[in-house]
């Protein structure tokens, strides 16, 4: 029961680290810093809590999830046909 709370604290730590890193390196986009932080958190959660080894398909799945979010929230311009 204590493990989820520990992982929440770790997640908050990495997101704070990502935000501070973005403030220090303003030339890097925020989404890149957050993405890298979440990859690290997902890796730690997968190995320590789920007892899974990281494989190439985990990375591909994570990339597909990011692409799904992009396509869902992207504001597409609609062509007007007259």
pLDDT value of residue 54 = 80
Across 1-5, 22-26, 34-38, the highest mean pLDDT is recorded for 1-5
- Are 65 and 34 a contacting pair, CB within 8 Å? no
- Give the Cα separation of 7 and 40 in Å (integer): 12
- Are 18 and 33 a contacting pair, CB within 8 Å? yes
Mean pLDDT score, 10-29 = 73
- pLDDT level of residue 18 (50, 70, 90 thresholds): low
Question: Is residue 64 predicted with pLDDT exceeding 80?
Answer: yes
pTM as predicted = 0.45
Give the three-class secondary structure for 28: coil
- Are 52 and 46 a contacting pair, CB within 8 Å? yes
- Are 34 and 16 a contacting pair, CB within 8 Å? no
Domain ranges of the chain: 2-73
């Amino acid at each position: 029961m204590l493990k989820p709370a520990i992982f929440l604290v770790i997640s908050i730590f990495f997101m704070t680290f990502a935000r501070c890193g973005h403030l220090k390196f303003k030339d890097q986009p925020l989404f890149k810093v957050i993405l890298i932080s979440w990859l690290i958190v997902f890796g730690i959660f997968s190995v320590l809590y789920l007892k899974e080894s990281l494989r190439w398909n985990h990375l591909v799945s994570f990339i597909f999830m990011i692409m799904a979010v992009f396509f869902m929230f992207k504001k597409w311009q609609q062509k007007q046909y007259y």
